[in-house]
Amino acid sequence: MKYAATLEYDGTNFSGFQRQKNAITIQQRIEESLEKITNNKITINYSGRTDAGVHALSQVFDFQTDINRDNSSWIKGINSNLPRSIAVKNIFKVPNNFDSRFSAIKRSYAYVIYNSKNKPLFFENYCYWISNKLDISKMENQLSMFLGKHDFSSFRSTNCNSKNPVKTIDNISLEKKGNFIILNVAANAFLQNMVRIMIGTIIDIAKSENNLSIKDILEKCDRNFAGRTAPAKGLFFLGPQYNDLKQSTMETDLLDRLKN
C-alpha cells in the first residue's frame, strides 16, 4: 500500500531536502525515521526539492509499505524519531499510481521580506531584512508581469539542468502586514532558484538598482539581466496541488502564521 504525508520543517540547519552523500538533509532524516519504525529501508518520493536554508509548511512525500497502521500511529511514530525542526502533520492512504512529484499540477511558494530600519531580531532565520524603504506600488506593478506562460531563462540558476525553461505562473501577489512583505507565487513548476531570483530582481527594481522591467528581463532570456538571488532563509514552500486529493490537507496560509 502507499501512503502520502504532509510535512513542515525549518530548513536552517539542513543542506536542503534531497539526500546527499556528505551532508544532512530532510529526506535523510525522514527515511531514517521510517526505517526505525518499520525495520525496512524505505525511499520516499517528494513534491519539491528545496535548497539549503529553505523552509516548508506543506511539503508532501509518499512511500510504500506492507505495514498497515492507523494514521495517528504513523504520525506519532515518524515524529518521535525526527528532530524538533521537522514534523509530519497529516498522513493518508493514496492510490498506488500516486507520485508526490509527478502527480502535482501546481506548486506554491511564499517569500518573506522584513522592510524596516530595525533588525528583525526574532525572525533572523525566516526573512530577508531590507532596511531601504521599498516602493510597494512599483513591486506590485512589476510582479504582474510574471503572470502567464513565459521563458524563464533569465530567472534560473546557472547550474539549472532543466530542459524546458518555459513555465506558467497562474497566481502571484503581494501582502503587507506591518513591516512584513509576503510575496506569494504559484506555478505549474519552477526552475532552480527561480523564485529567489524573481524576488531578488523585484527588490532591485524597487530600490531603483535595475532600470529594466520584468517584461524586458523575461524577453532577454539571459540570467545576466536579472537581479541577485535572494537569500534562501526567506523562502517557504507552501506545497503542491493535486487533482484527486483533498487540498485542505495540503494548503497553508503563511500570512495567517505571521498574524498568529
Question: Helix, strand, coil shares of the chain as percentages rounded to 5?
Answer: 30, 30, 45
Report the C-alpha gap between 136 and 113 in whole angstroms: 12
Residues 144, 72: one domain? no
Catalytic residue among 10, 51, 99, 216: 51
Query: Residue 223 domain-assigned?
Result: yes
Q: What is the pLDDT of residues 67-99, one digit of tens each?
A: 989 999 999 999 999 999 999 999 989 999 999
Q: What is the pLDDT of residues 191-200, one digit of tens each?
A: 999 999 999 9
Q: What is the pLDDT of residues 248-258, one digit of tens each?
A: 434 444 445 44
CATH of the domain at 176: 3.30.70.660
Q: What is the pLDDT of residues 18-43, one digit of tens each?
A: 999 899 999 999 999 999 999 999 99
| 223 vs 259, higher pLDDT | 223
Residues 33, 158: one domain? no
Residues 130, 181: one domain? yes
Residues 187, 136: one domain? yes
Residues 22, 46: one domain? yes
Query: Residue 186 domain-assigned?
Result: yes
How many domains does one find in the chain?
2
Query: Residue 246 domain-assigned?
Result: no
Contacts of 45 (CB under 8 A, 6+ apart): 61, 62, 63, 99, 100, 101
| pLDDT over threshold 90, residue 138 | yes
Q: What is the mean pLDDT of the segment spanning 38-67?
A: 94
Q: At CB < 8 A and 24+ separation, what contacts does 195-198 make?
A: 195/109, 195/111, 195/235, 196/111, 196/229, 196/230, 196/231, 196/232, 196/235, 197/154, 197/155, 197/156, 197/157, 197/223, 197/226, 197/227, 197/228, 197/229, 197/230, 198/146, 198/155
pLDDT at site 199: 97
Query: Residue 87 domain-assigned?
Result: yes
Report the C-alpha gap between 241 and 252 in whole angstroms: 12
CATH of the domain at 84: 3.30.70.580
Query: Residue 99 domain-assigned?
Result: yes
| pLDDT over threshold 90, residue 202 | yes
Residues 174, 87: one domain? no
Name the maximum alpha-carbon separation found in the chain.
59
Residues 159, 41: one domain? no
pLDDT at site 244: 65
Instruction: List the domain range (segments joined by +) for residue 114.
Output: 106-240
Count of Cβ atoms closer than 10 Å to residue 196 Cβ: 25
Residues 41, 54: one domain? yes
| pLDDT over threshold 70, residue 245 | no
Query: Residue 252 domain-assigned?
Result: no
Which alpha helices (DSSP H) does the chain contain, by range? 26-38, 71-80, 136-143, 194-206, 214-220, 254-259
Q: How far does CA 226 lie from the centroid of its chain?
A: 20
Domain boundary among 57, 85, 103: 103
Residues 76, 195: one domain? no
Q: What is the mean pLDDT of the segment spanning 96-114?
A: 94
Report the C-alpha gap between 213 and 226 in whole angstroms: 10
51 in active site: yes
